[in-house]
Amino acid sequence: MTEPLVVIWDGVEEPSQERCTIVDLQEIHIAGVVRGNFGTCTYAMTVSQEWLFHSLRVTLGDRTLAVSRSGAVWTVDGEQRPDLSTAREVDISISPISNTLPIRRLGLELGASADIVTAYVRVPELTVTTDPQRYTRTAAREYRYDSRDTDFTRFVTVDEHGLVVEYPGLFRRRNNSGGALDSTAHS
């Protein structure tokens, strides 16, 4: 077991603050608290050592959303969701931790791209829909993010763990806190 890694992000366009803790055990456990105009939202996520999504629980006020994936079978609040079968990760609208999952899982070489589909979790609505995306590694610690169904594009900088440092217009990392992740550090 390694020390927990703690990062703090500030929302830029939509004012918010997130404190995210990542603990690398047999699975990687990620927990966050995001405060913004929508109130206080908490989430708990588990991913495998290879950064494959397993489960997410999001709480906002008295509402809770539970999302899980086993193979290609997605479940949202206990109901199977075949419309999400092509998704591999979740993308939480209010958190840049979502970018770390595909960045770590894909392990793209410089100049390489990958098209993915996420299960997009919209907060404060607590709804889940598919979201086609593309990641292109443009530098050692920079990725171009493209939405494949809109014209939204950003160049996202990350640290040695694949955690967002700067997501222009959306999120900015406040600290470079200590801690380490054992499993295949981002290089």
Give per-residue pLDDT as tens, 26-61: 899 999 999 999 999 999 999 999 999 999 999 999
DSSP single-letter state for residue 142: E
Query: Mean pLDDT in the chain?
Result: 92
How much is the pLDDT for 176? 55
Of the candidate ranges 1-15, 67-81, 131-145, 150-164, the one whose mean pLDDT is the lowest: 1-15
> Residue 187: is its pLDDT beyond 70?
no
pLDDT in tens, 112-144: 999 999 999 999 999 999 999 999 999 999 999
Rounded mean pLDDT, 86-103 = 96
Percent of the chain with pLDDT over 90: 86
> Residue 186: is its pLDDT beyond 70?
no
138 dihedral zone (left: phi>0; alpha: psi -120 to 50; beta): alpha
Q: Domain extents for the chain? A: 5-173
Quick one: 162 exposed, middle or buried, by C-beta within 10 A (0-12, 13-18, 19+)?
Answer: buried
How much is the pLDDT for 25? 78
**CA–CA distances in Å: residue 87 to residues 3, 75, 136, 142:** 30, 12, 18, 23
- Both tokens of 84, joined, read 């999400």
Report which secondary-structure segment, H or E, holds 98. helix 97-106
> Residue 88: is its pLDDT beyond 50?
yes
How much is the pLDDT for 102? 96
- Bridge partners of 153, per DSSP, are 146
pTM of the model: 0.90
